């Protein structure tokens, strides 16, 4: 290929959420916990639910088909397809290979890329792979397509209300309206057993709750400090939160994200010069002598940081929490659901020129802080407009979901649990509430082979 492509980034983005949800206030009552525990304590409003009709393949088929259809992208225009997921239903056959059934009827099989797994980080790893491909000698001039998707379900107990499900697909290529900052990424990886899925017969993870929060916050500190150091060299200026118009986080539950933004504010204070500490962060002056690593669960430090970052949170992070508060943890797609939420929260003219910081975390652990810029180039304004208007259906989908009672949610969870890895299997969940264009599982045969169908996409006037 010729020259290195410019402005590699996101050209189109698509979100798929379940059509069913359970209300968190109703779940509090049903679970017999104190009122406000899930809604205020965790900051969650609702949780997306998949019955036995949906699995990781169906979610990914839906999001890919919808993205290509909506944006009038021909299957032959895709040269790489990457899937990031931790929802494993086959130890050998990738979700990517299942998605090839969309491409094969169009005679398209020359597509690189495969699945990537590490808890909630797989989607980001898939995205990084796609960017690298577009910037490499292997690039054939086509688009890369990145899919991040998961069904997050927990065993009965404290973690169950932090479930959710969703899928995000992103079309990656040069001259994009959302441009990744090149040569600027902070990464932090370690070996920890904070959240993992050692029982291959179960959908549920083993979670060390407190450790998972500590690992998330410590990875955030490490990544942010490393990013600030690297970015200060790239941009020749001191980097702190004022550098970003928006900061997005992997969102296990919204309260953790509010605490995370407060944590970055605390980092800014910690890294500030003595003069700035007094001038800019007067309200944190009592925390002058803290050791960051000792404060993950220090309520006084947390309260001071939260109180002094309320406005930062409402301007830079709160707009990105719409999908997370309504759908819950979507694991690999959670951070990108945050990007979708941000993009639909403002007019394109208000977003143009914004710099967005993104923190991706996957237990085990793998994490990264990186950034992108929403183009302010007048020539790209129509591309930005198109990208954002492609997300018009998100608010409609959220408001057209069907609420189910907590009892019914429990029943669905029991069915998922009992039918997990059964073959042959005929799903019993209804397809009535599915959004147009949704793929669903029709059956699993005696050889564990899965078959799917698609709800007619009235929007585009045809089925399958
Ligand atoms: N009103 C308001 N707040 C309340 C109420 C109430 N009635 N009752 C409790 N709370 C608050 C608590 O004070 C607590 O607040 P804090 O976190 O600020 O201290 C919060 O609600 C949670 O309550 P806890 O009793 O501390 O925690 P719980 O046992 O319910 O577990 C947890 C919460 C740890 C998040 C659990 O749901 C979990 O394990 N989730 C999965 C793991 C996870 O998401 N980890 C994050 C990173 S890893 C990943 O992404 C999977």
pLDDT tens, the chain, 464 aa long: 457 799 999 999 999 999 999 999 999 999 999 999 999 999 999 999 999 999 999 999 999 999 999 999 999 999 999 999 999 999 999 999 999 999 999 999 999 999 999 999 999 999 999 999 999 999 999 999 999 999 999 999 999 999 999 999 999 999 999 999 999 999 999 999 999 999 999 999 999 999 999 999 999 999 999 999 999 999 999 999 999 999 999 999 999 999 999 999 999 999 998 888 888 898 898 998 899 999 999 999 999 999 999 999 999 999 999 999 999 999 999 999 999 999 999 999 999 999 999 999 999 999 999 999 999 998 889 999 999 999 999 999 999 999 999 999 999 999 999 999 999 999 999 999 999 999 999 999 999 999 999 999 865 433 33
Are 240 and 268 spatial neighbours (Cβ–Cβ below 8 Å)? yes
Q: Ligand 1: does its nearest atom lie under 6 Å from the Cβ of 215?
A: no
Rounded Cα distance between 360 and 249, Å, is 6
Q: Is the CB of 216 under 6 A from ligand 1?
A: yes
Q: Atom 26 in ligand 1: which residue has the minimum CA distance?
A: 41
Q: Kindly state if the Cβ of 204 falls inside 6 Å of ligand 1.
A: no
Q: Write the residue with the smallest CA distance to atom 34 of ligand 1.
A: 209
Span from the CA of 159 to the centroid of ligand 1 (angstroms) = 8
**Architecture category of domain 9-454 in CATH:** 3-Layer(aba) Sandwich (3.40)
- Nearest residue (by CA) to ligand 1, atom 13, is 41
Helices 406-419 and 24-31 pack at an angle, to 10 degrees, of: 80
Give the 3-state secondary structure of residue 375. Answer: coil
Distance CA(78)–CA(81), nearest Å, equals 7
Domain boundaries, the chain: 9-454
Q: Which among 33, 34, 37, 163 is the best mutation to test ligand 1's pocket, defined by most ligand atoms within 8 Å of the CB?
A: 37
Decide whether any atom of ligand 1 lies within 6 Å of the 196 Cβ. Answer: no
Report the nearest atom of ligand 1 relative to the CA of 159: 37
Q: What sign for the dihedral angle of Cα 15, 53, 86, 413?
A: positive
Catalytic residue among 120, 215, 223, 254: 120
pTM > 0.75: yes
Question: Ligand 1: which residue has its CA nearest to atom 22?
Answer: 41
Q: Is 250 a catalytic residue?
A: yes
Closest C-alpha to ligand 1, atom 32: 159
Find the 210 Cα to ligand 1 centroid distance in Å.
9
Q: Which of 65, 188, 250, 265 is catalytic?
A: 250
Ligand 1 in contact with 452 (CB < 6 A)? no
From the list 168, 181, 121, the residue with the least C-alpha distance to 13 is 168
**140 Cβ closer than 6 Å to some ligand 1 atom:** no
From the CA of 361, give the closest atom in ligand 1.
Answer: 50
Q: Is 334 exposed, middle or buried (0-12, 13-18, 19+ CB in 10 A)?
A: buried
Catalytic residue check, 26: no
3-state secondary structure of 183: strand
Cα–Cα distance, 361 to 370 (Å, whole number): 12
Q: What is the DSSP code (8-state) at residue 398?
A: H
What ranges make up the beta strands (E) of 19-59?
20-23, 46-49
Q: Is the CB of 168 inside a 6 Å radius of any atom of ligand 1?
A: no
Please say whether the dihedral angle defined by the alpha carbons of residues 109, 53, 443 and 449, taken in this order, is positive or negative.
positive
């Amino acid at each position: 290929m010729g020259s290195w492509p410019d402005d590699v980034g996101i050209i189109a983005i698509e979100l798929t959420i379940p059509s069913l949800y359970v209300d968190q206030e109703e779940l509090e009552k049903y679970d017999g916990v104190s009122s406000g525990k899930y809604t205020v304590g965790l900051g969650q409003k609702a949780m997306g639910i998949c019955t036995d009709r949906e699995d990781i393949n169906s979610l990914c088929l839906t999001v890919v088909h919808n993205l290509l259809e909506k944006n009038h992208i021909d299957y032959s225009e895709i040269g790489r397809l990457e899937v990031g997921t931790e929802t494993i239903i086959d130890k050998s056959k990738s979700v990517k290979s299942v998605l090839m059934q969309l491409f094969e009827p169009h005679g398209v099989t020359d597509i690189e890329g495969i699945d990537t797994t590490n808890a909630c980080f797989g989607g980001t790893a898939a995205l990084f792979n796609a960017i690298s491909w577009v910037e490499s000698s292997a690039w054939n001039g086509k688009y890369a397509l990145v899919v991040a998707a998961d069904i997050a379900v927990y065993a009965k107990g404290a973690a169950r209300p932090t479930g959710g499900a969703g899928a995000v697909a992103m079309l990656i290529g040069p001259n994009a309206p959302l441009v990744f900052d090149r040569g600027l990424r902070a990464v932090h990886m370690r070996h920890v057993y904070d959240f993992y899925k050692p029982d291959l017969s179960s959908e549920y993870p083993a979670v060390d709750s407190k450790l998972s929060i500590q690992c998330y916050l410590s990875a955030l500190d490490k990544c942010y400090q490393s990013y600030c150091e690297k970015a200060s060299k790239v941009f020749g200026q001191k980097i702190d939160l004022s550098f970003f118009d928006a900061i997005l986080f992997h969102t296990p539950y919204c309260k953790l994200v509010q605490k995370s933004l407060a944590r970055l504010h605390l980092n800014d204070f910690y890294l500030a010069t003595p003069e700035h500490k007094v001038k800019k962060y007067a309200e944190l002056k009592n925390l002058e002598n803290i050791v960051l690593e000792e404060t993950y669960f220090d309520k006084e430090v947390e309260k001071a940081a939260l109180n002094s970052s309320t406005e930062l949170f409402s301007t830079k992070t709160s707009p990105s929490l719409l999908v997370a508060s309504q759908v819950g943890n979507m694991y690999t797609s959670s951070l990108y659901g945050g990007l979708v939420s941000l993009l639909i929260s403002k007019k394109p003219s208000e977003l143009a020129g914004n710099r967005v910081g993104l923190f991706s975390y996957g237990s085990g652990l793998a994490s990264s802080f990186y950034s992108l810029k929403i183009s302010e180039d007048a020539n790209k304004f129509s591309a930005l407009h198109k990208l954002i208007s492609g997300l018009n259906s998100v608010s409609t989908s959220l408001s057209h979901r069907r609420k189910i009672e907590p009892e019914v949610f429990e029943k669905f969870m029991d069915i998922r649990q009992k039918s997990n890895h059964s073959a042959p299997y005929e799903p019993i969940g209804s397809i009535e509430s599915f959004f147009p264009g949704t793929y669903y599982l029709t059956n699993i045969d005696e050889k564990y082979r899965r078959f799917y169908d698609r709800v007619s996409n009235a929007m585009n006037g045809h089925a399958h």
